[in-house]
Amino acid sequence: MGEVADLIDGLGYLKKGSMIYIIGTIITILTLTYVFANFSSLPENMDPNSIPTEMMSRFAGLFLLIATISLISFIMFFQATGYLKKYDSRYSIGRLGMVLQIVGMGLVFVALSLILASISLSATASIAIMGTIFLSVGLIVIAVILMFAGAILFGIMTARLKRIDSNFEIAGIVYIIGVLVNIIFSGMGIVLHTISMILIYYSANKVLKTVE
């Protein structure tokens, strides 16, 4: 068992990570609403062929915003799992989950780099191109499995925090269900993850008020 300071730091980063995730979700919903609402405001004499470009330019900014918020939230959770691991080895499963997700994201980056590299190959190098594509697909499959497993491990760690506050168990279970549902219906998965983040924020904030 580590120092109480490690628990406080771990819960503090959990609180920050969940808060950033919630804020990011709200911003995403509001931005999407704005983008689609203003789609009708495009000039009537606008060339129809330029509409996809207009929409892409609007969504590019949204994608960049979501990616930035997601990265910051991920870093907060990564920090949290480190402190919680120091506090109690039973929570080390959370850090393992985050590491698996990092490895998975790294494999996706490698796979996309290989695909882009294959595009530049001569059309006569069909065997090399096919080999690169198959390798990239294999890496992406492995990456998805790693990120999927990593997310579940993070959910298990969250559920184990029930020793600190019972609401963490509910948050962890909802998070894991969200990961599973994400395979079939990503929209519902996002809703469940958001609910889980609200519970994590509530529980972390509640415990911090009693120990600080």
- Reading phi first (left if > 0) and then psi (alpha if -120 to 50, else beta), residue 88 is in beta
Neighbouring residues of 124: CB distance < 8 A, sequence distance ≥ 6: none
Which pLDDT score is estimated for 156? 96
Q: Which pLDDT does position 149 carry in this prediction?
A: 96
> How confident is the model at residue 47, as a pLDDT?
52
Q: What is the 8-class DSSP label of residue 50? A: G
Q: What angle, rounded to 10 degrees, do the helices at 4-39 and 186-211 form?
A: 140
pLDDT at 200: 97
**What is the predicted pLDDT for the residue at 60?**
73
Token readout for 53 is: 């470009």
- Residue 46 per-residue DSSP state: S
Angle, CA 70 vertex, CA 72 and CA 21 arms, to 5°: 90
SS3 labels along 64-99: HHHHHHHHHHHHHHHHHHHHHHHHCHHHHHHHHHHH
Residue 208, helix vs strand vs coil? helix
pLDDT digits (tens), the chain, 212 positions? 668 899 999 999 999 999 999 998 888 888 777 766 666 555 555 555 555 565 666 677 777 888 889 899 999 999 999 999 999 999 999 999 999 999 999 999 999 888 887 777 655 567 777 778 888 889 999 999 999 999 999 999 999 999 999 999 999 999 999 999 988 887 888 899 999 999 999 999 999 998 86
For the chain, domain boundaries: 4-211
**What's the CA gap between 196 and 97, in Å, rounded?**
17
